[in-house]
């Protein structure tokens, strides 16, 4: 069992003086070690990306697109291998791992249209003999810092568009499950991406600090918790970098009295407990309008929870796997065990469920009568805990959502088109679902929240990613006849 090292300019690179342990969360067993970069290692990786930049930026768009077409095919052909890495290091069930690969492929498909995406604009004869056109050019070296919960999808959210736009990339994946990033960079190179265009830097805060401090890094893309996202944004922008930093979430799902309650209960269980709740788009708050609605929903959700199969992600029978670490499992449990003292009602206590072996498993929990101000409501738990907040009216539900410090995604379940359309307008969040509990946009749109869920002015992937990873340049041209040349000290006018 060797040490996973940095992948730089097509080669393994760096010292192994500092390393971290990679666990299989389902067993608690050590499955590998990963190198932690020194500042010198990080700067060498950045230098390699900088050296590869001129040639890649000058590469023809059709040739760039060819890489993405081949990459898509390789991802399809080798998805089983990649999914196995994700399940081994993250713990999510294989079906969920393949699902995130599928969503990552959407971003490869979007990037393959780069010839269209990088079009500029042209205006002829804006003044006599004067034309104006705009172009999109790469920003330079881009650092992509990604979280543990989607070790394939989120790196592809960032790297696909960044590379397509002509930038070179340093990808810093989570040290908890770094194997997927190493697999992706090798797959990209098999697809024809020149060495040095995409590099993988492993490590902890030392690596991140080096990326933030380097004058050769032009832009930072980050997904993680809100405190870290805020820090990344502040430090990066202070250093003159372009930064998009996506933070945490507390996603609410409103259920109106007229909703299909069986369908809503199915959706709530799926969206709250899928991937053990380790999703920034997980539904963590069920907002029931009316006590009759709430009573029925709580009963239906609890009934479905009892049937969930929790186990090793490699077992086809498993519907939910473990949490990422033992420490995170204990943190998630503390929210459930402390909820009653805050005045909430623990309907289903997942912390009481016992599991064989040393894996980082926890059962699913349902907490009723939750109110703003409670720790179980205010914090992003990032685990399989669903809170139920009871409100009397639609307006109260919307006010609850809009008062929350997070504003990533929300959903409403109703049969009434007028209510649904009104909710689309009223909900002050970045992504809205109507009878869709996880409104993650398809690859042709962009992903991102408002308030404390996003720092920066660009959402991730899709059209806004092209804006983020390029700089616009406007060119004004005039080819006058020699006889028209004259001196004019006045300010240029288009009249």
* Beta bridge partners of residue 261, listed in sequence order: none
Residues 6 or more apart whose Cβ sits within 8 Å of residue 218? 139, 140, 141, 142, 167, 241, 242
| Helix-, strand-, coil-residue percentages of the chain, each rounded to 5 | 40, 25, 35
Place of tokens 């009602």: 345
Catalytic residue, candidates 280, 336, 346, 411: 280
Q: Helix or strand or coil: residue 122?
A: strand
CB 298 within 8 A of CB 368: yes
In Å, how far from its chain's centre is CA 86? 16
Decide: residue 392, CB within 10 A, 0-12 exposed, 13-18 middle, 19+ buried: exposed
Helices 61-77 & 153-164, crossing angle to 10 degrees?
A: 160
| Separation CA 258–CA 255 (nearest Å) | 8
Residues 6 or more apart whose Cβ sits within 8 Å of residue 191? 67, 68, 70, 71, 74
Please, what's the b/e burial string for 14-27 (b: 16 or more CB within 10 A of its CB; e: otherwise)? beeeebbebbbbbb
What 127-133 contacts at long range (C-beta under 8 Å, 24+ apart), as own/partner pairs, is: 127/493, 127/494, 127/495, 129/478, 129/479, 129/480, 129/484, 130/476, 130/477, 130/478, 130/494, 131/476, 131/477, 131/478, 132/474, 132/475, 132/476, 132/477, 133/474, 133/475, 133/477
Q: Is 280 a catalytic residue?
A: yes
In this structure, what token pair is assigned to residue 191? Answer: 């697809």
| Separation CA 217–CA 169 (nearest Å) | 9
Angle formed at CA 75 by CA 71 and CA 222, multiple of 5 degrees:
80
User: What are the catalytic residues?
Assistant: 280
């Amino acid at each position: 069992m060797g040490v996973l090292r940095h992948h730089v300019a097509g080669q393994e690179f760096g010292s192994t003086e500092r390393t971290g342990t990679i666990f299989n969360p389902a067993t608690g067993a050590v499955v590998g070690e990963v190198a932690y970069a020194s500042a010198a290692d990080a700067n060498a990786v950045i230098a390699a990306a900088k050296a590869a930049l001129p040639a890649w930026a000058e590469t023809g768009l059709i040739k760039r697109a060819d890489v993405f077409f081949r990459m898509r095919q390789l991802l399809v052909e080798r998805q089983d291998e990649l999914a196995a890495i994700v399940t081994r290091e993250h713990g999510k069930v294989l079906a969920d791992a393949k699902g995130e690969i599928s969503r990552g492929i959407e971003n490869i498909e979007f990037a393959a249209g780069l010839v269209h995406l990088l079009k500029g604009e042209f205006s002829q004869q804006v003044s006599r003999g004067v034309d104006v056109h705009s172009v999109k050019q790469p920003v330079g070296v881009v650092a992509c810092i990604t979280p543990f919960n989607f070790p394939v999808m989120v790196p592809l959210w960032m790297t696909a568009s960044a590379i397509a736009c002509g930038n070179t990339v340093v990808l810093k994946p989570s040290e908890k499950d770094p194997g997927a990033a190493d697999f992706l960079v090798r797959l990209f190179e098999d697809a024809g991406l020149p060495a040095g265009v995409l590099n993988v830097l492993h490590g902890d805060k030392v690596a991140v600090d080096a990326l933030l401090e380097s004058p050769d890094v032009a832009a930072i893309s980050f997904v993680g918790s809100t405190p870290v996202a805020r820090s990344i944004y502040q430090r990066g922008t202070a250093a003159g970098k372009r930064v998009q930093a996506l933070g945490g979430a507390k996603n609410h799902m409103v259920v109106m009295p007229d909703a299909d309650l069986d369908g809503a209960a199915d959706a709530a269980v799926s969206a709250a407990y899928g991937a053990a709740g380790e999703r920034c788009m997980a539904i963590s708050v069920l907002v029931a309008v009316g006590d009759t609605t709430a009573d029925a929903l709580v009963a239906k959700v609890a009934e479905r929870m009892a049937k969930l199969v929790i186990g090793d992600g490699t077992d086809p029978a498993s519907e939910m796997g473990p949490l990422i670490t033992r420490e995170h499992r204990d943190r998630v449990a503390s929210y459930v065990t402390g909820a009653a003292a805050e005045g909430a009602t623990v309907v289903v206590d997942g912390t009481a469920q016992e599991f064989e072996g040393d894996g980082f498993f926890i059962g699913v929990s349902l907490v009723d009568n939750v109110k703003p101000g409670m720790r179980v409501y205010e914090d992003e738990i990032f685990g399989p805990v669903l809170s139920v907040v009871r409100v009397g009216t639609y307006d109260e539900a919307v006010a609850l959502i809009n008062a929350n410090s997070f504003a990533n995604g929300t959903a409403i379940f109703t049969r009434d088109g007028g209510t649904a359309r009104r909710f689309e307008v009223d909900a002050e969040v970045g992504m809205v679902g109507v009878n869709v509990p996880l409104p993650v946009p398809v690859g042709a749109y962009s992903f991102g929240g408002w308030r404390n869920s996003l720092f920066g002015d660009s959402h991730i992937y899709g059209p806004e990613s092209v804006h983020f990873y390029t700089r616009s340049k406007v060119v004004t041209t005039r080819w006058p006849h020699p006889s028209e040349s004259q001196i004019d000290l006045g300010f240029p006018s288009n009249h």
